[in-house]
Amino acid sequence: MLGMIERSVRIEDLTNGSARTLRLIAAADERFMEAPVASLNGTLWLALGVLAAGLIVAALVQVLVGLAPLRSLRSALGKVHSGETQQLEGSFPGEITPLIDEFNTVLERNAQVVERARTHAGNLAHALKTPLSVLANAADAAIAAPGRQAQASELAQLVAEQVAIARKQVDYHLARAQVAATSRVPGAKTALQPVVEGLLRVMRRVHADRQLHITVAAWPASLSFRGEAQDLQEMLGNLLDNACKWATQRVELSARSEASSLTIVIDDDGPGVAADQRHAVIGRGVRADQQVPGSGLGLSIVDDLARLYGGELALSASPLGGLRAELTLPLSS
């Protein structure tokens, strides 16, 4: 196919003033004209495509490299949250190193504050328990002694009642000090098995005269509580002691993990608690039976600690015939 271009050219003769017009026509095969244009367009589009791909790759590399420290920081925070470490660890660029150092300083200071609070609360509790025990023993002796005057016996009864109230307050506020501390220690992780084994040794000695049969179901050795060891000991110790006090012959303990939760179940074959009273016995100072020793604070302490960790304590009927205490706590990965 031919392509043609036509032009008219006017030529004037200056000598005689005449002019004539020439008509010029150029023809050529169009393929000869389109091929160079197509080649140029192809080269141009290829160059633009390579340039765009290069810019995209450069932008991705810049984003990935630039955000890598933030991903490392997120991973380090996740390890603190899960209990694997108690401080931010890793290699970070100089731009965010001061932030990491400040964050680790805050974590360390919080841990120190919590430890001091625990120490002071423990010291206060122990300092008060000794004189309270002396007063209670003296009051009991005065009440039981024959031949005492009525006024002295009445005073001893009053002292005994006030000592009991003071003991409840000491126990409760010591537990509240522990509760207030738990939310300030990130990165805490406690293996379940050692804590249970230690508590079982104590319970078997304390209740040795009752010849209880305490059994523990097998669970994975990796089961861990995302929290402080003292708090786990406090919660399980109260629940095991309560079960042993009420059990007739048997106490069973089991544990399982579900998603991000650790569930510990303690069953006994005692008289149990009526369904309409189970919520009440968790309340502070409420006791199911005044004949059984105790302050009525054990289940309340367990419930307070569990709730602060985002867990809960639930009471229900046990397959053994007594009470089932089901404690749900955060699981440490």
- Those residues whose C-beta lies under 8 Å from the C-beta of residue 324, and which sit 6 or more positions away, are 265, 266, 267, 315, 316, 317, 318
User: In degrees rounded to 5, what are phi and psi of residue 149?
Assistant: -70, 155
pLDDT attached to residue 129: 66
Looking at the chain, list the stretches that DSSP marks H as alpha helix, in order from N- to C-terminal side: 30-82, 97-144, 150-182, 192-206, 229-246, 278-281, 298-308
Amino acid 66 reads G
Q: Where are the domains of the chain?
A: 2-74, 83-186, 188-333
**Six-digit token string for 124:** 């206060």
**C-alpha to C-alpha distance for 131 and 119, rounded to whole angstroms:** 19
Q: Give me the long-range contacts of 236-240 (CB less than 8 A, separation at least 24).
A: 236/195, 236/196, 236/199, 236/264, 236/266, 236/327, 237/199, 237/202, 238/298, 238/299, 238/301, 238/302, 239/264, 239/266, 239/298, 239/299, 239/302, 239/325, 239/327, 240/199, 240/200, 240/203, 240/266
Pairing assessment for the beta strands 312-317 and 323-330 based on DSSP bridges:
antiparallel
* Among the listed residues 255, 244, 248, 243, the one whose alpha carbon sits nearest the alpha carbon of residue 216: 255
Query: Do the beta carbons of residue 257 and residue 129 sit within 8 Å?
Result: no
**C-alpha to C-alpha distance for 121 and 115, rounded to whole angstroms:** 10
Pairing assessment for the beta strands 18-29 and 2-13 based on DSSP bridges:
antiparallel
What is the pLDDT tens value at each position of the chain, 333 positions in all? Answer: 777 888 888 888 777 777 888 888 888 777 777 778 888 888 899 999 999 999 999 888 887 777 777 788 888 888 777 767 777 877 777 777 888 888 888 888 777 777 767 766 766 666 676 666 767 777 677 666 655 555 556 666 767 777 777 777 677 666 666 655 555 455 678 999 999 999 999 888 888 888 899 999 989 888 999 888 888 988 999 899 999 999 999 999 999 998 889 999 999 999 988 888 888 888 654 444 443 444 445 788 888 888 888 899 999 999 999 999 999 999 987
- Please, how many CA atoms are within 13 Å of residue 327, restricted to the half-sphere of its CB? 32
Angle at 292 between CA 215 and CA 278, to 5 degrees: 70
pLDDT attached to residue 297: 58
Residue 215, strand partner residues: 252
* Among the listed residues 236, 256, 255, the one whose alpha carbon sits nearest the alpha carbon of residue 244: 236
Angle at 314 between CA 308 and CA 319, to 5 degrees: 150
**Six-digit token string for 262:** 């650790």
* Whole-prediction pTM: 0.53
Homologous superfamily (CATH) for 188-333: Histidine kinase-like ATPase, C-terminal domain (3.30.565.10)
